[in-house]
Amino acid sequence: MKALICGITGQDGSYLAKLLLGKGYEVIGTSRDAIGSSLFNLDRLGIKENLIVSSMAINDFRSVLRVIQKHAPDEIYNLAGQTSVGLSFEQPVEAMESIAHGTLNILESICFLGLPIRFYNAGSSECFGDTDGDSADEDKPFCPRSPYAVAKSSAHWLVQNYREAYGLFACTGILFNHESPLRPRRFVTQKIVHAAAHIANVGIGSLELGNIDIHRDWGWAPEYVEAMWLMLQQDQAADFVIATGRSCSLCYFVERTFSWFGLNWKDHVQFNNELRRPSEITYSCGNPLRALSRLGWRPHFDVDYVIDAMCSEAKKSTPNQ
């Protein structure tokens, strides 16, 4: 089996590549600039030499078509495009082009080439908006509240349309928040973890945050990429919510993280209203029952494990002062 992972250098792409290599796949990954891109995550997982990385601009149809035609994969995993909700408010056009337009380019390329390719699209829990204290399943209507979420919603509906109109094996994984030590530090979870590690190491310091009263359903990223693979092994394509079913506040994440390092978070955290988003989701939680019943997938780790694992890794990587 041959798999093409669009956006292989990120957290999910790297873990997915490791999973597929372990299953005997030939893995080809794409990055906008394969020569200039950082392959740090792939090297960190010890798999950089076991795969091919090819240049591809996902918002350029010719580039997408050329790569798919050259490699003729059995499976395509689309994990490319803008990944930051906050950044999408500053770069909304890039969000739409890289996510919605990029997904459309892949779907059109599969149709044009007529190859029996199975396609996975990375959706997002952000599409649901606020779940109002409940857990969202696949039947909950979308209510996107950011340019990122609007783009992800558009891509989701494109996948459904091409599945129904052209008979493609195409599905979307509606993944709730999932973290790991491979998360970039621009994400709030890593920002918190590395700030606490640094403060514990040097004895002083502070961390600026926006709204910590938001609730999120946080899971363990290596488990979530297994769900992606399982979706493409089914007899029929379908969309799935992937989540833990447990939601907790960002305040809980902060408190537990600082406590892990023996710190009281109230002594170090400051609040900055400029870090608040123009529109914020107060509560987000997912219901993974369909994934359990149809895929046999269940989460084994929740937010407490995620925090412990990220803190442990951050402690090892923090230079001694």
Mean pLDDT, rounded, of the chain? 95
Cα 27–chain centre separation: 19
Q: Is 148 a catalytic residue?
A: yes
- pLDDT bin (cut points 50, 70, 90) of residue 320 is low
Q: Name the residue among 35, 40, 42 with its Cα closest to residue 13.
A: 42
CB 5 within 8 A of CB 27: yes
How far is it, in rounded angstroms, from Cα 71 to Cα 119? 15
Mean pLDDT of 164-186: 96
CATH of domain 184-216+248-284+303-317: 3.90.25.10
Give percent of the chain above pLDDT 70.
99
Q: Is 259 a catalytic residue?
A: no
User: Which runs of consecutive H residues, i.e. helices, occur in 59-146?
Assistant: 61-71, 85-90, 92-95, 102-113
The single residue of 31, 63, 88, 124 carrying the catalytic annotation is 124
- pLDDT bin (cut points 50, 70, 90) of residue 87 is confident
Report phi then psi at 207, rounded to 5. -135, 130
CATH 3.40.50.720 fits 2-178+219-242, yes or no: yes
- pLDDT bin (cut points 50, 70, 90) of residue 9 is very high
- pLDDT over 60 (residue 138): yes
Tally Cβ neighbours within 10 Å of residue 316: 9
Between 32 and 214, residue with greater pLDDT: 214
Question: Residue 50's pLDDT is what?
Answer: 96
The single residue of 148, 162, 224, 255 carrying the catalytic annotation is 148
Tally Cβ neighbours within 10 Å of residue 29: 28
Distance separating the N- and C-terminal Cα atoms of the chain = 48
For the entire predicted model, the pTM comes to 0.95
Q: Is 162 a catalytic residue?
A: no
How far is it, in rounded angstroms, from Cα 196 to Cα 36? 32
Q: What is the CA radius of gyration of the chain?
A: 19
Q: Where are the domains of the chain?
A: 2-178+219-242, 184-216+248-284+303-317
pLDDT digits (tens, 9 = 90+) for 27-60: 999 998 777 677 999 999 999 999 999 999 999 9
pLDDT digits (tens, 9 = 90+) for 204-213: 999 999 999 9
The single residue of 126, 179, 223, 255 carrying the catalytic annotation is 126
Identify any residues that bridge with 169 across adjacent strands, giving them in sequence order: 118
Region for 112 from its dihedrals, namely left if φ exceeds 0, alpha if ψ lies in -120 to 50, beta otherwise:
alpha
